[in-house]
């Protein structure tokens, strides 16, 4: 398997631009946010951090509901799009360019989310433990956490021709056809780190979190179901004591 470049995802983000939001997996944003508001017991006015926010779809949906949101992402293109969208609607959401490996905002937020592999599942299978600890540290006392990750069981069960799964790192490599804003298709190498429910549970407990639960979910269909081998993603919910 080829080794991913450190910031391979930036090239994909730059090519996609606003076309990112045309992808089918982005269409369930409202359902996902509705679920998280309930599951994390969020109340309007709370401060929420969105790690790996992309063009801000979850951040903006939360801001529309009355939360004060900070989104961080390494992609300059995605941060630009998120800022423009927030300004157009005059939402209480700010966005910053940041390498999640350098995230350092301890005890600052009432809730932190990291969804759709953003900022957590794109790191090549080596930096995720440190990054998870950084994410968990952003929570103030009693703060709630939601992290989604691609399921290793699903990746292996549904491995397609041309895809490679590295059991040593849990990284799935594929060459995907990406359609840009101009409608032109181009191939890109994608590396997604996959996890088991047990790995996420252990990460959360090692970070000192409580109330740890891992659900099996698919984009746009978040719910309280036990993980199965046919769930695309795992959704970890936990809370700081």
Report pLDDT digits (tens) over 145-183. Answer: 999 999 999 999 999 999 999 999 999 999 999 999 899
Residue 49: its H or E element: strand 47-51
Contact partners, residue 110, CB within 8 Å, separation at least 6:
42, 46, 47, 48, 139, 140, 142, 143, 144
DSSP reduced 3-state for 75: coil
pLDDT at 228 over 90: yes
pLDDT at 118 over 80: no
Residue 197: predicted pLDDT: 98
**Is the CATH number 3.40.50.970 carried by domain 8-240?**
no
pLDDT at 1 over 80: no
Residue pair 14/77 in contact (Cβ under 8 Å)? The answer is: yes
**Rounded mean pLDDT of 74-90?**
97
Q: How many CA atoms lie within 13 A of 225 on its CB side?
A: 14
> To the nearest whole number, what is the mean pLDDT of the chain?
95
Domain boundary assignment for the chain: 8-240
**Rounded mean pLDDT of 120-144?**
93
pLDDT at 2 over 80: no
* pLDDT band, very low/low/confident/very high, at 120 (cuts 50, 70, 90): confident
Residue 126: predicted pLDDT: 83
Q: Hey, what are 75's tokens?
A: 């992609």
pLDDT at 129 over 80: yes
pLDDT at 26 over 90: no
**Rounded mean pLDDT of 55-61?**
97
* pLDDT band, very low/low/confident/very high, at 125 (cuts 50, 70, 90): confident
């Amino acid at each position: 398997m080829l080794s991913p470049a450190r910031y391979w995802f930036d090239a994909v983000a730059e090519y996609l631009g606003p076309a990112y939001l045309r992808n089918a997996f982005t269409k369930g944003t409202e359902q996902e946010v509705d679920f998280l508001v309930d599951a994390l017991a969020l109340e309007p006015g709370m401060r929420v951090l969105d790690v790996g926010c992309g063009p801000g779809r979850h951040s903006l949906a939360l801001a529309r509901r009355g939360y004060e949101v900070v989104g961080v992402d390494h992609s300059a293109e995605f941060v630009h799009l998120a800022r423009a969208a927030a300004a157009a609607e005059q939402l209480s959401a700010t966005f910053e360019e940041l390498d999640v490996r350098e995230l350092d905002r301890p005890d600052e937020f009432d809730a932190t989310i990291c969804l759709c592999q953003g900022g957590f599942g794109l790191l090549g299978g080596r930096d995720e433990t440190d990054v998870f600890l950084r994410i968990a540290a952003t929570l103030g006392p009693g703060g709630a956490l939601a992290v989604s990750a691609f399921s290793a069981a699903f990746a292996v069960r549904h491995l397609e021709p041309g895809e490679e799964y590295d059991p040593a790192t849990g990284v799935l490599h594929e060459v995907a056809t990406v359609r840009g804003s101009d409608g032109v298709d181009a191939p890109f190498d994608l590396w997604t780190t996959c996890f088991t429910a047990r790995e996420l549970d252990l990460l959360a407990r090692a970070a000192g979190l409580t109330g740890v639960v891992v659900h099996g979910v698919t984009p746009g269909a978040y719910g309280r179901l036990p993980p199965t081998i046919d769930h695309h993603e795992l959704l970890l919910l936990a809370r700081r004591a």
